[in-house]
Amino acid sequence: MIGFVFAFSLKEEKIKNSKIAFYCSLVPGLGQAYNGKWVKSISIAGLEYAAYAAWIENKKNYNNYEISDNTYRLPRHRYLQKRNKYAWWIGFIYVYGMIDAVVDAHLHNFEHLMASPLENDKKGKIKNAE
């Protein structure tokens, strides 16, 4: 009620620190959790886990490949290619999570900043106008 009467919200907008977001993002998904993006946090952590699990599985299949054994669906070189592909995905997801956390923390206050009036508008004059 007080926020409605005095035209300000009671919830204080907390400024996010980009440096803290970077350090939190060293653990996949934790940087997004710091920014309050819980769905994105779970998605980043889940994708990182899935890529790591696929990498481990293909690494195991490549290292333990027996030509005489018919339990493998693919030739040995395909397991090497898939192992390398998932290693790249692990790196891409990790770097994406870091960049996303830092940018999201940096732009956290953007809507509030853009909605506030300019300083010169408050005074009623435009600086450097000709």
pLDDT of residue 114 exceeding 70, the answer is: no
- pLDDT tens profile 75-101: 888 989 999 999 999 999 999 999 999
Higher pLDDT, 72 or 120: 72
- Of 125 and 55, which is predicted with more confidence? 55
Q: How far apart are the C-alpha atoms of 127 and 23, rounded to whole Å?
A: 40
- With both helix axes pointing from N to C terminus, report the angle between 38-63 and 76-106 in degrees, rounded to the nearest 10: 160
- pLDDT, tens digit, 9 for 90 and up, residues 10-67: 344 577 777 888 888 888 999 889 888 899 999 999 999 999 999 999 999 888 887 7
